Amino acid sequence: MKTIETFNKNINKGNMLFFMLGFLLTLSLFGQHPVRDILTLEKNWKFIKGDVANAQQIAFNDSKWETVTVPHDWAIKGPFDKEIDKQTVAIVQNGEKVATEKTGRTGALPYIGVGWYRNTFSLPNFSEEKKVILLFEGAMSEPEIFINGKKIGSWNYGYSYFYFDITEHISSNQQNTLAVKLTNVGLSSRWYPGAGLYRNVRVIVKNKASINQWGTFITTPLITEHLAKVNVKTKVSGKQLKLVTTIKDAKGKTVATDTVETIFDNEFEQNIAVKNPNLWSPETPYLYTASFQLYAENILKDETETRFGIRDIKYEAEKGFSLNGKITKFKGVCLHHDLGPIGTAINKSALRRQLRILKDMGANAIRSSHNMPSLEQLELCDEMGFLFLAESFDEWAKPKIENGYHRFFETDAEKDIVNLVHATRNHPSIVMWSSGNEVPDQWGSQGAKRAKWLQDIFHREDPTRPVTVGMDQVKATMASGFGAVLDIPGLNYRVHLYEEAYEAFPQGLILGSETASTVSSRGIYKFPVEEFKMKQYDDFQSSSYDLEACSWSNIPDEDFVLQDDKPWVIGEFVWTGFDYLGEPTPYDTKWPSRSSYFGINDLAGLPKDRYYLYRSRWNTKDETLHILPHWNWEGREGEVTPVFVYTSYNSAELFVNGKSMGIQKKNKSTAKHRYRLMWMDVTYEPGTIKVVAFDDEGNPAAEKEIHTAGKPYQLILESDRTVIKANGKDLAFVTVSVVDRNGVPCPTATHQLKFKVKGEGAFRAACNGDATSLEPFHVPTMKLFSGKLVVLLQSSSKAGKINLTVSGNGLKTEKIIIQTKI
């Protein structure tokens, strides 16, 4: 396209000579082989569940296998079955002492077993001067890799990135057969781990004289208002080499360049000055690009680039965490790696939607829990401005579950950490590492030694970031010295021990590495409204008054007090930003219950009431005014039905059908009263409830109403985006809700809906956020839950329109059109 545009421009100018020179140059460049080819193996994979003898052989007939696209999660289509990975166990982390049957702990999806993947690829530019790298960004689990029938390697940790040099196994100018065997054993996870090649697989062809895989390390050790020192270390292979590094700003303009020929132990080191630097932060996530050209005897041998940010981080006793000289609290959430109805198969648009929702809530940080993050997630956090706590393991040498990571810890922990650090260390979003979560090794001196050993590996590979561990056995870590060893003591819950831990540990600060674990079901409210621990109901739902927690945890307000009143508490990571598959506490012994209740947002990505509680405190730019519960309570007339308001304002007045219920003001009498406005004596009568919020001068500043809805009449369809990319991957998330004839939302509707999709796209999945639903996500029908659900539409590779039609008995059918563009 660029050549055609040049042709038209030059012909119009009559500058034929200039055109011919440009055309000949273009032909010359196209005629040369690139110095580096990256082939992403996405399509035409063959897959079969089950162990197939000799499936790695080149001549094996896989024509009857399923054809899939990678990333792929073989288990997400279900069915849900309580017998899958049924675990009879006492969960020590939850304080349990008696073993009980846990039916939905790993999501009740069929992830256990062996799966085979096969694909073919050719490398037309391969020659003796080339090397070939086979890169996996995650494979669940225990992958064994075969090239052209020969096993070339294996890996154990399903969350790890890894690669092999397969040069000697490649056939030049012929089809090469890649086979991958994955083995998921039962009792190997505490949540839904997914199954399959759930992250990208790539083949990288480059010269033998080249930049090593993950061989660049960029830091910014000195920053002033007018100048930043960018330190670049680049590991290479080859002799008599020269490296040219160019730094470009966000607009692509070159701001600095440097050439180096002196090499030490296969590594170049450069210090490059960038004038008037733009600093990276959650508010201004500015990114530079470093381009690298490697020469041997003035011949270009390799070329690559990486994005980075210029930013300064510090952790100081009593003061806390500072970013670019500004004290900053972590307003973070923990995230598991599954993406709800599409499972663990990585999808950038689904990740982006999650981060948009969290950004609006005011969150500024993410903790990958309890695993290594996807590279796509880190790229988006760089772009959108999220601080990141990158976690490695949920187990060390002592087991939590029978077939957990402890089987591989002694042999694999170091190489897994090295790969984590090398693959991700250039991301400015990462400001801290975590070497573990609630590991049983917290007891005893041996655990403290392991903590130091792991921390030393992180420090060796990256001296610029501190290391933490999520500790739930705080008393034990005080006694063993475990907590004192860490750069940053991370407390999982245990709000009653913060003061004691602060006095006992020498670091002078505490991180809320995991907080709250409040449980709720979107749109479900229980009476009477009281605080409970491990409360259970006959419908296996939890109340959305946000007063129910687990035996070991607490409501959000108790963490808010610590964050606001203690400068040495450097922030929190709430468990969790979104519901996830598995761990259905407090119903982990009940069936059907197959996903969590912890999320601030439900499994479909729809906000629960708690979202607005966090938003009222975290989002300091936008107004928040949210009323709960809904006002459809047929049969509760005259009964006490408390009304809560989550708002960024400090006071408000509530009206029921025009009658004032009085003014409530936030105060410090209790943690709840400090952050919520609560009218506990309201009695239900159908009609309208209205809240009027006041500014600090007592003037009305905002108001909101909720109405009692009539009978469900019409469907409403709202998409998160009306235009998506025609790349065969992009997703549109369409929220479907129901209103009455007057347009009032119907919060208790449970109609069964059907979905039809036509045009340049397809139905991908649906989700209603109900943790007890056993409806498969991939079938185009689903019941509403609390009046809503979400439909996922996936683009094709052609530009055009996607037409979604949603229907349900007794409801007016509705349609929506999504545009797809190249």
**464 and 420 housed in the same domain:** yes
The values of phi and psi at residue 52, to 5°, are -110, 120
Chosen domain end from 539, 572, 587: 587
Q: What is the mean pLDDT of the chain?
A: 95
Residues 6+ apart with CB under 8 A from 83: 103
Q: How far is Cα 323 from Cα 571, in angstroms, rounded to an integer?
A: 13
Q: Which long-range contacts (CB under 8 A, 24 or more apart) does 810-813 make?
A: 810/712, 810/751, 811/712, 811/713, 811/714, 811/715, 811/738, 811/751, 812/713, 812/714, 812/715, 813/715
Q: Is a pLDDT exceeding 60 seen at residue 368?
A: yes
**65 and 134 housed in the same domain:** yes
Q: How confident is the model at residue 172 (pLDDT cuts 50, 70, 90)?
A: confident
Give the dihedral sign, CA 320/322/326/329: negative
Whose CA is closest to 232, among 287, 276, 290? 290
Q: How many domains does the chain have?
A: 6
Q: Check residue 764 and give its pLDDT.
A: 98
Q: Could you tell me if residue 595 is inside a domain?
A: no
**277 and 339 housed in the same domain:** no
Q: Could you tell me if residue 321 is inside a domain?
A: no
Q: Which has the minimum average pLDDT: 3-7, 90-94, 475-479?
A: 3-7
Q: Could you tell me if residue 323 is inside a domain?
A: no
Q: Check residue 125 and give its pLDDT.
A: 80
Q: How confident is the model at residue 97 (pLDDT cuts 50, 70, 90)?
A: confident
Whose CA is closest to 341, among 763, 771, 767? 767
Q: What's 261's domain CATH number?
A: 2.60.40.10
Chosen domain end from 243, 276, 308: 308
Q: Check residue 27 and give its pLDDT.
A: 33
- Do the bridges between strand 752-759 and strand 781-783 make them parallel or antiparallel, or are there none, so unpaired? antiparallel
**28 and 52 housed in the same domain:** no
Q: Could you tell me if residue 546 is inside a domain?
A: no
Query: Could you tell me where the DSSP H helices lie in 647-728?
Result: 671-675
Q: Give percent above pLDDT 70 in the chain.
A: 96
Q: Is a pLDDT exceeding 90 seen at residue 311?
A: yes
Q: Could you tell me if residue 155 is inside a domain?
A: yes
Q: How far is Cα 71 from Cα 73, in angstroms, rounded to an integer?
A: 7
Q: Is a pLDDT exceeding 50 seen at residue 703?
A: yes
Contact 580, 604 (CB under 8 A): no
Q: What's 372's domain CATH number?
A: 3.20.20.80
Specify the amino acid at residue 411.
Answer: T
Q: Could you tell me if residue 790 is inside a domain?
A: yes
Task: Please report which helix (H) or strand (E) contains residue 611, including its range.
Answer: helix 609-618
Contact 377, 386 (CB under 8 A): no
**366 and 500 housed in the same domain:** yes
Q: Could you tell me if residue 304 is inside a domain?
A: yes
**736 and 789 housed in the same domain:** yes
**638 and 782 housed in the same domain:** no
Q: Which listed residue (137, 395, 438, 775) is catalytic?
A: 438
Q: How confident is the model at residue 325 (pLDDT cuts 50, 70, 90)?
A: very high
Q: Check residue 90 and give its pLDDT.
A: 85
Whose CA is closest to 732, among 801, 783, 813, 647? 801
State both tokens at 525: 């409210």
Specify the amino acid at residue 600.
Answer: I
- Do the bridges between strand 365-368 and strand 387-391 make them parallel or antiparallel, or are there none, so unpaired? parallel
**217 and 202 housed in the same domain:** no
**224 and 203 housed in the same domain:** no
Contact 765, 778 (CB under 8 A): yes
For 518-551, the pLDDT digits (tens) are 999 999 999 999 999 999 999 999 999 999 999 9
For 388-435, the pLDDT digits (tens) are 999 999 999 999 999 999 999 999 999 999 999 999 999 999 999 999
Instruction: Give the residue-averaged pLDDT of 226-233.
Output: 98
Q: Coil, strand or helix: which one is 593? A: coil
Q: Could you tell me if residue 360 is inside a domain?
A: yes
H helix and E strand count, the chain: 12, 48
Q: Check residue 9 and give its pLDDT.
A: 35
Q: Is a pLDDT exceeding 80 seen at residue 11?
A: no
Residue 376 annotated as catalytic: no
Chosen domain end from 207, 235, 263: 207
Q: Coil, strand or helix: which one is 770? A: coil
Contact 105, 588 (CB under 8 A): yes
Instruction: Give the residue-averaged pLDDT of 68-89.
Output: 96
Going through 160-287 in order, the beta strands assigned E by DSSP cover 162-165, 176-184, 201-207, 210-223, 227-237, 241-248, 254-260, 267-275
Q: How far is Cα 235 from Cα 785, in angstroms, rounded to an integer?
A: 54
**702 and 718 housed in the same domain:** no
Q: Coil, strand or helix: which one is 462? A: coil
Q: Check residue 33 and give its pLDDT.
A: 56
Q: Check residue 293 and give its pLDDT.
A: 98
Q: Is a pLDDT exceeding 50 seen at residue 127?
A: yes
Whose CA is closest to 769, among 739, 789, 796, 743? 789
User: Where does residue 786 fall: left (phi above 0), alpha (psi -120 to 50 degrees), or beta otherwise?
Assistant: left
Residue 438 annotated as catalytic: yes
- Do the bridges between strand 731-739 and strand 788-795 make them parallel or antiparallel, or are there none, so unpaired? antiparallel
Q: Check residue 20 and give its pLDDT.
A: 37
Contact 19, 10 (CB under 8 A): yes
State both tokens at 817: 């059109």
Whose CA is closest to 711, among 632, 599, 816? 632
> In which domain, by residue range, is 128 found?
39-75+111-207
State both tokens at 717: 């369809």
Q: Is a pLDDT exceeding 80 seen at residue 765?
A: yes
Q: What's 199's domain CATH number?
A: 2.60.120.260
**468 and 397 housed in the same domain:** yes
- Do the bridges between strand 814-821 and strand 723-725 make them parallel or antiparallel, or are there none, so unpaired? parallel
**691 and 817 housed in the same domain:** no
For 678-701, the pLDDT digits (tens) are 999 999 999 999 999 999 999 999
| Tally of CB atoms within 10 A around 615 | 22
Q: Which listed residue (376, 395, 514, 685) is catalytic?
A: 514
